[in-house]
Structure 1
Amino acid sequence: MSEFFRKYIKKENYPVLPQNIRFKTNFKNCIYEALKRRTWKESEGDMEWDIMWSEKEWIHEVFDHVHLQPHQRINHFRNYAELCRKDLMIKNMKRYKKNLEKEGKMDEAAEVDFFPLTYNMPGEYSLFVEEFKKNQNTVWIMKPIGKSQGKGIFLFTRLQQVSQWKSDFRWKPDNPQAEPYIVQKYIINPLLVGGKKFDLRLYVLVTNYSPLTAYLYRTGFARFTHHRYSHNPEDISNNYIHLTNVAVQKTSNQYDANTGGKWDLRQLKLYLVSKYGLEKVLECFSKIHQIFIKSLLAVQKSMINDKHCFELYGYDVLIDANLKPWLLEVNAAPSMTANTQVDFELKCNLLDDVFTIVDMEKVLQSNEEQIGGFDIIYRQTPISMPANSIYSTYLGCYNQRTSNLKKLSKMAAQRLASTPDPKNKPQ
């Protein structure tokens, strides 16, 4: 925004002066940098803030015990876990699909096919064993429901390996605190680039669940493994081959610190177009776009909406060899720690655009279709692309955030300068 709105809007025309906005966060990565770049002031008090970027734990421990002022904003919804805890996400997807079938919307229900076959452990262990015995050559993956960065994940092909997991401290009848897992059919045929597996980290911002209001960031990145892909039995336990998480890959002796194992989404999209053709790639990206919409609709009725809340989600999507996208998980606290300079600027720009949309300065009109690198994708109903466009999504398109922010700031400056309303005097 920040610099463009400050450049074009006169100080006396600001409804809320940027330097009067107080923020609070315990993060010292790109989040802190983006907050400081807006010239907002850091607050040391527990509740003396206008906007807070909190840890998820704060929501559980504090949110229900405090009274927020009407203007205060916080970066999580109360029950964000409905979308961001692996088992609850799958439960909500299954329920959404079943409801569509009950309503006779069979075609729509058939499109909710973007998550792997999944069982909750230990609750659905017997069901899983039945399925396992039907397909004994299948590779499965175990994931703890609440961890990130690849922690606790392992692949297996033999039931004995799960039995060993069952018998250790994580799952004992006398340990009610044992962490549940999910087990999923492993996607054995991922799309490869240079023989290596990758997944996508993509960003969606929700500012309201009633009515649902969601924005999609044009830019994201692919996260690559640093070892060539193999699903040979002897390589099943090699996380450097199978897990793309940076926290895992950076411990590899083949880790490339210059690129951080990442590739810009637009570059990847252009590469895929050159290899598979425009039509197939556009269809793939359109399906990814629909994953965002359908996953949000799946949890909309479960979410506790609150005017104080917004949330930036980090979607992890895998594309298989048939160019079919699969939703792996949704993160309520996507990493904002950068491992390269390019990564740093991407995340700072992303966060700056988030704060522009949240609009603590009260300079927007709330009907903008694009704000920086974000495009509105849902506002009560899905947002359609222009009739003459060959694209069905802006995902992976050129991100002209700078020119957009200049245009928005000039329009805001003209509007605010011509508004005699006393509410528009600086606070």
Structure 2
Amino acid sequence: MAKNKNVNYKGPYGYQKMKEREPRACIRFKCALTNTILDVLRQRPGWVEVKEEGEWDFYWCDVRWLQENFDHTYMDEHVRISHFRNHYELTRKNYVVKNLKRFRKQLERDAGKLEAMKCDFFPKTFEMPSEYHLFVEEFRKNPGITWIMKPDGVRLDDQKDEIPVENYVAQRYIENPYLIGGRKFDLRVYVLVMSYIPLKAWLYRDGFARFSNTRFTLNTIDDHYVHLTNVAVQKTAPDYDPEKGCKWMIQQFRLYLTAKHGAEAVEILFAEMDNIFIKSLQSVQKVIISDKHCFELYGYDILIDQDLKPWLLEVNASPSLTASSQEDYELKTHLLEDTLNIVDMEGRLTGKEKRVGGFDLMWNDGPVSREDGNLDTPMNGFVANTHLGYNNDRKKQLKQLFKPFQTQQKV
């Protein structure tokens, strides 16, 4: 990580000067995971894997390394790592509730109640044991409501022991989830944040709906095959069919809803999901340490109820990158390739792009207009500027985007 004396790293894109001297920059990477991301990194042209103690330019690290080493590690201008220092402000349930409540009060004070109500997308939650008395009061006022207990630290899909779980949250259970084929599901959506100050966030067009394996009922609240949608849980069900799986691509889900409820209702729903992504990021914008070396690929879990209202369940700092099928592997491979394209260690982007592969720039210190020009069309109080679930012609887009760079390299 010490500067290479033979390379000039000046300029906003790290390897800009190196690229002028060498046709293909050698980018040294480390990776703490052994799944799809490692495959993608090893196959990327000009990228070279380094040993444990070797110097690196890019590190797809785990949060344990971050906690133990970030504050003691010198990083050159061009170096990038895959987490923000205190990402848990958004990814731990008790922290995100605290930050959303604070942000809602700020919005109400600065912009009024209608704007503040746009933060009402998280189920009512109490931290235990510090808010036990508040929870008891709420429980007594509404005795028929179902509550669930969750550890306040998010369990990482590909890593263990993010932060020792000491506290729990009591969260109101969404008793009226939208059902397809009688089964509960949630959505996994990917958001890439390159900076918090200013806030710059990208939304991936692909994602998926994860279904439970058993028809929904409130009579068996402790049945994991009914109420949990995690693939790791569902694939252990006795009647699980690995060929059918338990996922829909989000494009398929959007088409289903459009056929059943009409295009306008679906636009409103997806605009409200856009609002969840932006408001949740804004709620932690002032507390996240926005180090220029850091980026973060978040996995958002969204539940939709029978009224087509989306609810934020949690945000994952390390969404699962292990594939459960060939289709899943292709989705995650493309997602990770495009993440690396935006991180742009090679210095190929101008910084003005609104789309890179399957990612669309959603927020750049303010809303970013949609390609079809619908940014100024408010729907139900929300701005419809999402590309989530749209056709993802990423290969064509990338070919066009990097054509000038490829031509320059040939010359």
Is TM more than 0.5 here? yes
- Are residue 203 (structure 1) and residue 190 (structure 2) matched? yes
- Determine which of 218, 223, 231 is the counterpart of 1:231: 218
Alpha-carbon deviations, 1:208-255, whole Å to 9, x = none?
Answer: 1111111000000000000000012xx011111001111211111122
- 2:109 corresponds to 1:109: no
**Alignment RMSD (CA, Å):** 1.9
Classify 1:229/1:361 alpha carbon distance in 2 versus 1 (closer, same or farther; 3 Å).
same
How far did 1:131 drift?
0.7
- Give the match's secondary structure for 1:184: strand
Alignment correspondent of 1:140: 147
Alignment partners' CA distance in 1, 2:363 and 2:21: 27
Which of these residues, 189, 211, 214, is aligned with residue 201 of structure 2?
214
Query: What CA distance in whole angstroms lies between the structure 2 residues aligned with 1:149 and 1:260?
Result: 22
Aligned to 1:82: 89
CA distance in 2: counterparts of 1:355 and 1:178, whole angstroms: 32
1:411 aligns with 2:404: yes
Is 1:272 aligned to 2:294, yes or no? no
One-letter amino acid of the structure 2 residue matched with residue 125 of structure 1: Y
Contact 2:89/2:99 (8 A) holds in 1 = yes
Q: TM-score, length-normalised on structure 1?
A: 0.85
Identity across the alignment (%) = 50
1:271-327: CA deviation from partner (whole Å, max 9, x where unpaired): 111111111111001100111111111100111111110000000000001000000
2:188, 2:301 within 8 Å by CA — same for their partners in 1? yes
- Closer, same or farther in 2 for the Cα pair 1:68/1:322, shift >3 Å? same
Q: What CA deviation, in whole Å up to 9, does each residue of 1:188-223 have, x standing for no partner?
A: 000001000000000000111111111000000000
Aligned-pair CA distance for 1:17: 5.5
SS of structure 1 residue aligned to 2:184: strand
Contact 2:149 2:171 in 1 (8 A): yes
CA change 1:183–1:416 in 2 (3 A) is same
* Counterpart AA for 2:311: W
Looking at structure 1, the residues matched to 251 and 297 of structure 2 have their Cα atoms a distance apart, in angstroms, of 21
2:119 aligns to what SS in structure 1?
coil
Q: Tell me, in whole angstroms, the C-alpha distance in 2 between the residues paired with 1:107 and 1:415.
A: 51
Whether the 8 Å contact between 2:156 and 2:318 is mirrored in structure 1 is no
**Kept in 2: contact 1:149–1:248 (CA 8 A):** no
Q: Name the CA shift for 1:259/1:64 in 2 (closer, same or farther; >3 Å).
A: farther
CA deviation profile, 1:340-379 (whole Å, cap 9, x unmatched): 0100010010000000000111111111110000000111
Whether 1:50 aligns to 2:70 is no
AA of the residue aligned to 2:328: D
- Aligned amino acid, residue 20 of structure 1: C
SS at match of 1:76: coil
Q: 1:21 aligns with which of 4, 10, 27?
A: 27
Q: In the alignment, which residue of structure 1 is the partner of 2:107?
A: 100
Which residues of structure 1 form unaligned runs of 5+?
1-11, 151-176, 419-427
Q: Distance in 1 between matches of 2:134 and 2:213?
A: 35
Q: Distance in 2 between matches of 1:149 and 1:304?
A: 21
> Which amino acid counterpart does residue 74 of structure 2 have in structure 1?
H
Higher relative contact order (Cα pairs below 8 Å, separated by 6+ residues): 1
When residues 101 and 147 of structure 1 are mapped into structure 2, their CA distance, relative to the original with a 3 A threshold, is closer
Normalization by structure 2: what TM-score? 0.88
Residue pair 1:364, 1:412 contacting (<8 A) in 2 also: no
User: Which residue number corresponds to residue 158 of structure 1?
Assistant: none
Contact 2:216/2:227, CA 8 A, preserved across alignment: yes
- The aligned counterpart of 1:319 is 304
Distance in 2 between the 1:15 and 1:312 partners?
32
C-alpha distance in structure 2 between counterparts of 1:340 and 1:18, whole Å: 34
Q: Give the equivalent residue in structure 2 for 1:192.
A: 179
Q: How many residues align?
A: 379
Distance 1:257 1:93, change over 3 A: same
Report the CA distance between 1:259 and its aligned residue: 3.9
Give the counterpart letter for 2:218 in structure 1: H
